[in-house]
Amino acid sequence: MAPVDELLQAQLQLARWTVAARRLVIFTGAGISTESGIPDFRGPQGVWTQLDPRQFDFQAYLADPELRRQRWQVYRDGGLGANAQPNAAHFAVAELVQLGLVDCVITQNVDGLHARAGVPEDRLLEIHGSNRFAKCLSCWKRYPREETLRWESDPAAGVPLCPACGGLMKSGGVSFGEPMPPDETREAIRRARAADLFLVIGSSLVVYPAAALPGYAVERGARLVIVNLSPTPLDHLAALVVRAKAGEFLPGVVAAVKQLRGAA
């Protein structure tokens, strides 16, 4: 954790860059949601220390009705972080969006907390999908999670079937081996390449292809800022690296932004 004076200087520096930016893109990973009680994946108490990653394999889901039943029950129960609420970092990101300073928020998270904090749909790209929805694996129609939880599972399929085409349903989050949403992925790459300030919050930047996005931004001349408790492979490309909890750091950035805009 950085000393207080360093954090204050970093907050002010990021606020200045934010106010001056033409296209600020914010990219978030699991680390922004740990303060909401949702464990990250690779940390000492991360998800993969408690669960077998093979349970989240897409091909296994397609092949095994019993696994589908298990995964759908987890989905019914709300999954990891069922009772999680947005934290100060989510609200700070949403406030920057509402101030008109953010081109878009790109997130690896499927928890839906950015949307619940107030980031509008047209500014949010959930590139690993979202558990706010369930999707049909045949026609790709999406349904709100609350609606699908009222449906009965088909005994043979192990999950509800799509009312539109009869296809298998699955939670909206992307599993291992499952293609990323193509439209969202293409748009995320386009936005990254158009950014002049790219802010990473709470991502280890090791999961590809999502982790390539900061590199695309830097290649096109964007300034890179990384807020993460642990080192990332792209720290050497960053103009500013902050070792702090996002929920403690970002509200100070928002306050500094408001001060700067008020003095302008």
Task: Work out whether strand 169-173 and strand 129-136 pair parallel, antiparallel, or are unpaired.
Answer: antiparallel
Produce one character per residue of 96-113: b if its CB has 16 or more CB atoms within 10 Å, e if not. bbeeebbbbbbbbbbbbb
The question of whether 128 is a catalytic residue gets the answer yes
Distance CA 107, CA 264 (A): 31
165 phi, psi to nearest 5 deg: -135, -5
Instruction: Please pick, among 90, 114, 128, 236, the residue that the annotation labels catalytic.
Output: 128
Distance CA 205, CA 183 (A): 21
Q: Which residues have a catalytic role annotated?
A: 128
